[in-house]
Chains A and B, each alone.
Chain A
Amino acid sequence: MNQSGATVAPGRNFYKNQISKEELEALKLEMNKKALIKRRSQTIFRLAVNVLVAFVVLLPLLYAISIAFMPSGELFSLDLNLFPKNPTIQNFVSALKNVPLLQFILNSFLVAGLITLGQIITCSLSAFAFSFLEFKGKGILFMIVMATMMVPGEATIISNYLTVGNLGMLDTYSVLIIPYLTSAMGIFLFRQFYMTFPMSLYESAKLDGCSNLRFILKILIPLTKSAIGAMAVYTFINAWNMYMWPLLVTGSDKMRTVQIGISMLNSVDSQSITLMIAGVVIIIIPSISIFIVGQKQLIRGMFSGAVKG
């Protein structure tokens, strides 16, 4: 057989039902090369589309960061200025000076952190009861819990305020935390996860002599790490973004949370967009970092039910 087989179109010798080893090798190389090029170009194309879409999605955020570095005079001009011409950190400095932003961040961290922890504990315990234990009125009780999801928070905010007011709890950490220590959403989420485990797992543990609490700690929680992660990120960000309730029940700078801190930057007599945006950028950092740390868990948690089957 000739050595030029590599350059000839594939299939040349097929009608003879024979092909030399060299020709086969060359054919393989050629096909591999083609496949590689195809695969690479596809990857590049996908990457480009992704970058483009990500840019569009992130544009407001990037613009906010850019504004935060602009001197306040520069923003209100007729030219399009996406980037600060004279970058400055003055906005950040004055934002931190005007209101005790660091204290607020600390408060928000404490409140959001404890709410998250509390919700994970209460929701996993009640979801365990709703999925593994048998008791009278289980169905009705679960329905009632689910029904609370349909009541908007605003509807109960006044009566809640009066209650905590009468209890003398206003302007404390506990008033920010205690009303949010459990959530129907979390119970539902955990229950859905627990339902994917066969009942026999629990029964087997019971025969092994394992207590309910031990079953939750040693078996359920390790198995639902992703759900817990998703739930934690979701709850934390929600708690971090709380506005109405903290505004209502806290009065002193010592107890306020970041979202209120931002609105305090927006005072009527000295309105400065750049200052506010700088404040926003400061307080976004913690919630974004939480998301970055937890995004793997969040996405796995959101989709695991659908994919695992």
Chain B
Amino acid sequence: MSEITLRNICKMYDKDHYAVKDFNLEIHDREFVIFVGPSGCGKSTTLRMIAGLEDISDGELWIDGQLCNYFEPKDRGLSMVFQNYALYPNMTVYGNLAFALKVRHLPKDEIDRTVKQVAKTLEIEKLLERHPNALSGGQKQRVAIGSAIVRRPKAFLMDEPLSNLDAKLRAQMRIELAKIHKETETTIIYVTHDQTEAMTLGTKIVVMKDGLVQQVAAPAEVYNNPANLFVAGFIGSPSMNFFKALVTEEDGKAALLLGNAASGRKVFLEGKRAQRLLKEEKDREVTLGIRPEDIYEYQEAVDGGFEKNTVGLEEVVDTREMLGAEVILYFESQGKTQSVRLKPENQSKPGETIKLYMNPEKIQIFDAETEENIFYEREI
């Protein structure tokens, strides 16, 4: 059992500069929590505060009902995996795995049993006699994870553990991490700037920016129901397209005018969403967000029944990326590079004009000033 609660956690390096501000989070047993955000957003600092490697400037950290602000790192019962593995180069793999147990003065045969068992789980039994410098990156990573597991901590803290690996190994280790999480049944707090890792591994994602938590939700929730412009743009690759648009009313529908009125580019919203939009933002400029996979060609739009909702959206293709199962076309609009994800049958070449249809159901609208998502549905 492990419950970790962070209440208004702050980190200040100097008087009025917050590295982390009012961080609130409840982490339940066996959750896989991901802190994600661009570099310098305070995610690593938060993790290090939980570990006890940084002082908490303000706020409370509760682990299993105990206030842990002033506990020594070793007394918090957590273990950490570092980006650069932090293996002791002078010890063999066995020595590395056994070190934390030796420090705790456990009996020798128990240490031996635990180390061998962990080595078996991670399939590093053959490496036990080797020194870290004789291991490959992936093997080092396994050993680092092993030396974290061996202590049976209340929770694992992982600080970008995969970022030193190459792309293929990273994908492989990602799957293994998910497996380890399932097998060891512990809580994991994981820091990454890679949103693929965040989406695939996490049961709960904490999106951060400039020391502030932007949204805490399950991966699908963060993707489909982003709280604000930043979250919408950060999660997803290629990232969400944003257009400046003016909200008007036309025949009871909400019409979003993209660019100037003369261009005639319009997207219509209907029903509840339209009402909400008109109520809050009528005749105001907003930011329209739509993911590349929610933009279609004519035939699919007809199949979806929304071909009449997009008017005049014609774009010149800049670049074409063939990815096998899909094709991504990039185009310039409103001074920004936008993208659309289409079926590989699409044969558009750079320089050609393509007609695009947005699915109005998938459109998100962000307030121009607060950048909050108008359609964001708060969890109850």
Contacts and interface: CB of A to CB of B under 8 A. Distances in A.
A203 B51 CA distance: 10
A200 B86 contact: yes
Contacts of A223: 89-90
A248 interface: no
B86 A201 contact: yes
A209 B100 contact: yes
Contacts of A198: 82, 84, 86
16 contacts: A198-B84, A200-B84, A201-B86, A201-B88, A203-B80, A203-B86, A204-B82, A204-B147, A205-B88, A208-B100, A208-B147, A209-B100, A210-B74, A222-B90, A223-B89, A223-B90
Nearest to B157: A207
Interface in A188-215: 198, 200-201, 203-210, 214
A204 B80 contact: yes
Contacts, number: 53
A297 to B, nearest CB: 16
B80 A207 contact: yes
Given A209-B100, A210-B103, A219 B78 contact: no
Interface of B: 51-53, 73-74, 78-80, 82-84, 86, 88-90, 99-100, 103-104, 147, 151
Listed from nearest, the 8 A-B pairs whose CB atoms lie closest are: A209-B74, A208-B100, A204-B86, A200-B82, A200-B86, A222-B90, A209-B103, A207-B73
A242 B121 CA distance: 60
A219 B88 contact: yes
Contacts of B100: 208-210
Given A198-B82, A200-B84, A203-B86, 8 more contacts: A200-B83, A203-B73, A203-B80, A203-B82, A204-B82, A207-B80, A208-B99, A208-B147
Contact of A219 (B80, B84, B90): B90
Contacts of B52: 207
A214 B73 CA distance: 16
B73 A206 contact: yes
B84 A207 contact: no
Contact of B78 (A201, A205, A207, A214): A207
Nearest to B78: A207
A207 B51 contact: yes
A244 B52 CA distance: 51
Contact of B74 (A201, A208, A219, A222): A208
Majority secondary structure of chain A interface residues (helix, strand, loop or mixed): helix
A210 B89 contact: no
A210 B79 CA distance: 13
Given A203-B53, A209-B74, A223-B90, A214 B82 contact: no
Best-buried of A198, A203, A223 by chain B (most CB within 10 Å)? A203
A219 B99 CA distance: 11
Contacts of B84: 198, 200
Best-buried of B51, B74, B79, B151 by chain A (most CB within 10 Å)? B74
Contacts of B99: 205, 208, 210
Contacts of B104: 209
Best-buried of B78, B88, B89, B90 by chain A (most CB within 10 Å)? B88
A207 B90 CA distance: 18
A150 B299 CA distance: 82
A139 to B, nearest CB: 16
Nearest to A204: B86
A101 B104 CA distance: 53
Interface string A222-262: 11000000000000000000000000000000000000000
A14 B147 CA distance: 60
Given A209-B74, A223-B90, A214 B103 contact: yes
Contacts of B86: 198, 200-201, 203-204
Contacts of A214: 103
A28 B31 CA distance: 65
B83 to A, nearest CB: 7
Contacts of A209: 74, 100, 103-104
Contacts of B90: 219, 222-223
Contacts of B151: 208
Contacts of B78: 207
A58 to B, nearest CB: 37
Given A219-B88, A223-B89, A207 B103 contact: no
A206 B151 CA distance: 14
Nearest to B151: A208
Contacts of B89: 223
Best-buried of A201, A204, A223 by chain B (most CB within 10 Å)? A204
B10 to A, nearest CB: 19
Contact of B103 (A201, A203, A208, A222): A208
B74 A207 contact: yes
Contacts of A222: 90
Nearest to A225: B90
A160 B162 CA distance: 57
Contacts of A208: 74, 79, 99-100, 103, 147, 151
Contacts of A206: 53, 73-74
A208 B80 CA distance: 9
A277 B51 CA distance: 65
A194 to B, nearest CB: 13
Contacts of A205: 88, 99
A207 B147 CA distance: 11
Contacts of A201: 86, 88
A205 B89 CA distance: 13
A208 B73 CA distance: 8
Best-buried of B52, B89, B99 by chain A (most CB within 10 Å)? B99
A81 B58 CA distance: 84
A222 B95 CA distance: 13
A203 B90 CA distance: 17
A293 to B, nearest CB: 22
A203 B53 CA distance: 7
A214 to B, nearest CB: 7
A223 B95 CA distance: 14
A209 B103 CA distance: 6
Nearest to A203: B53
Interface string A260-275: 0000000000000000
B247 to A, nearest CB: 51
